[in-house]
Amino acid sequence: MSSTMTVSKTSDSVATIERPISYDINLPYTAQSKEEKERVAKGTPYPQYLPTWDPVWFDPLPAFTFDDPALRADPSKPNLLKPGMSMSDITPKMGTILNGVDLSALTNAGKDELALLVAQRKIVVLPAQDAFFDLGPERQQNFMNYFGKPNYQPVSGSLKGFPGFHIIHRDGNKDELASFFSQKTTSCLWHQDVSYERQPPGYVMLGLLQGPEVGGDTVFAATDEAYKRLSPAFQSMINPIKAIHSSANMISHTRALGGVIRKDPVQFVHPLVRVHPVTKERCIFINGEFITGFQGMKKPEFQALSDFLLNHITTGHDFQARVRWQPKSVVIFDNRNTLHTAIVDYFDEENGAKPRHIFRLAAMAEVPIPVEA
């Protein structure tokens, strides 16, 4: 998605270009001043999880063999669904809340079963994970490494020494919010995480360190159910289409902001319809952030089809689930059969945004499987 530039006129009528408007208001792309760092550190109970921008460089992730842990799981899930835990659904078809499961004590067999539940239900919410939050970054990263290779973010803030942590942090930013909404009608940016990599993430963890009492939800849409809603003729038309996924616009945007860039732009071609390796369902693999075109199509053709599919998915509230956050909650979702967006509604014009502090750990999975495979 291209950057939006703010243009102003000087007294001699010469146009000057100001800072680009962030296309994702959830993310800080540049380091804060010393004063801002001190203020923010005082306002968070987790200063060790504040974003840093170490000037380290990441080479492209080479191809690797991925063995999905869900395919090893006992379908009855005896190591996950033990006595004393409770399970409730967010919607009939997607989203499950698990109470009484301690991620910090989960065995490998339990992790396999958790992966299977995530693949089946798309989103699993695990409240009150105090012990897991107390493990610290190294053990949290090791936990997610079980589900796939770590992803290292090329531009956004991470933790010093732990580049697999993608930090989502907002505090105050009244002026930035005002600038953003002077050009944007919504904060929603529907996407799959890191879709531009050769082997994009499968299982993704979000952990809420601090958040507003109300607001800041995350909404998920089921892309397999969205595919099923299409007519057979339309399904047949989109099945063979290949989409071009690229991080180039994100890299250019960060460079324009003066941010740290840790990796060259990455571009891969993936099927528009992918087959989930666990559920075998067909899923529409599209987003509004990283796709630059469809192979063999002219730009207006790509735009019309992309707009239709995104509108179909994002307005299909009957195959969506909204997750309301609580502190010390962990959400694990399947990046292969969902689209998601954060909701920035936790601010007012007088005070700006309330603090919202989340870490993300993404586990890289298989090369997306096309329908014809």
Tell me if residue 139 falls in helix, strand or coil. helix
CATH number for position 216: 3.60.130.10
What was the pLDDT predicted at 177? 74
The pairing of beta strand 352-364 with beta strand 282-284 = unpaired
What was the pLDDT predicted at 180? 75
Distance between CA 118 and CA 115 in Å, rounded? 5
The pLDDT of residue 231 is above 60: yes
- Name which residue leads in pLDDT, 213 or 235: 235
Distance between CA 223 and CA 189 in Å, rounded? 16
Lowest mean pLDDT among 155-159, 222-226, 310-314, 357-361: 155-159
pTM: 0.90
| The two three-digit tokens of residue 354, written as one number | 């309330």
The pLDDT of residue 17 is above 50: no
Flag whether 15 is in a domain: no
The pLDDT of residue 90 is above 90: yes
The pLDDT of residue 9 is above 50: no
Flag whether 9 is in a domain: no
Distance between CA 165 and CA 139 in Å, rounded? 12
Kindly state the average pLDDT of the residues 119-136.
97
Flag whether 228 is in a domain: yes
Flag whether 1 is in a domain: no
Kindly state the average pLDDT of the residues 256-269.
91
The pLDDT of residue 16 is above 60: no
Whether the Cβ atoms of residue 122 and residue 334 lie closer than 8 Å to each other = yes
- Identify the CA nearest to 159 among candidates 51, 34, 263, 260: 51
Whether the Cβ atoms of residue 275 and residue 365 lie closer than 8 Å to each other = no
Distance between CA 325 and CA 209 in Å, rounded? 10
Whether the Cβ atoms of residue 4 and residue 20 lie closer than 8 Å to each other = yes
What digits encode the pLDDT tens for the residues 56-83? 999 999 999 999 999 999 999 999 999 9
Kindly state the average pLDDT of the residues 17-28.
60
- Identify the CA nearest to 137 among candidates 365, 356, 359, 364: 359
What digits encode the pLDDT tens for the residues 208-226? 999 988 999 999 999 999 9
Distance between CA 66 and CA 149 in Å, rounded? 9
Distance between CA 350 and CA 232 in Å, rounded? 51
- b/e burial code for range 267-291 (CB count within 10 A of at least 16 → b): ebebbbbbbbbbbebbbbbbbbbbb
Kindly state the average pLDDT of the residues 145-152.
97
Flag whether 256 is in a domain: yes
What was the pLDDT predicted at 255? 87
The pLDDT of residue 187 is above 80: no
Flag whether 12 is in a domain: no
Kindly state the average pLDDT of the residues 324-335.
96
What was the pLDDT predicted at 42? 65
User: In which domain, by residue range, is 37 found?
Assistant: 22-364
Name every residue whose Cβ is closer than 8 Å to that of residue 83 and which is 6 or more positions away in sequence. Answer: none
The pLDDT of residue 175 is above 80: no
Cα separations in angstroms, 334 against 77, 91, 331: 18, 16, 10
What was the pLDDT predicted at 6? 38
What was the pLDDT predicted at 5? 40
Flag whether 168 is in a domain: yes
Whether the Cβ atoms of residue 122 and residue 94 lie closer than 8 Å to each other = yes
The one-letter amino acid at 11: S
What was the pLDDT predicted at 226? 98
- b/e burial code for range 102-130 (CB count within 10 A of at least 16 → b): ebeebeebbbbbbbbbbbbbbbbbbbbbe
Flag whether 176 is in a domain: yes
- Name which residue leads in pLDDT, 134 or 22: 134
pLDDT above 70 as % of the chain: 87
Distance between CA 254 and CA 322 in Å, rounded? 30
Name every residue whose Cβ is closer than 8 Å to that of residue 93 and which is 6 or more positions away in sequence. Answer: 222, 225, 319
- In DSSP terms, which residues pair with 356 in a beta bridge? 170
- In DSSP terms, which residues pair with 267 in a beta bridge? 246
**Number of domains the chain contains:** 1
CA neighbours within 13 Å on the CB side: how many for 227? 24
The pLDDT of residue 157 is above 70: yes
The answer for 32, left when phi > 0, alpha when psi is -120 to 50, beta otherwise, is beta
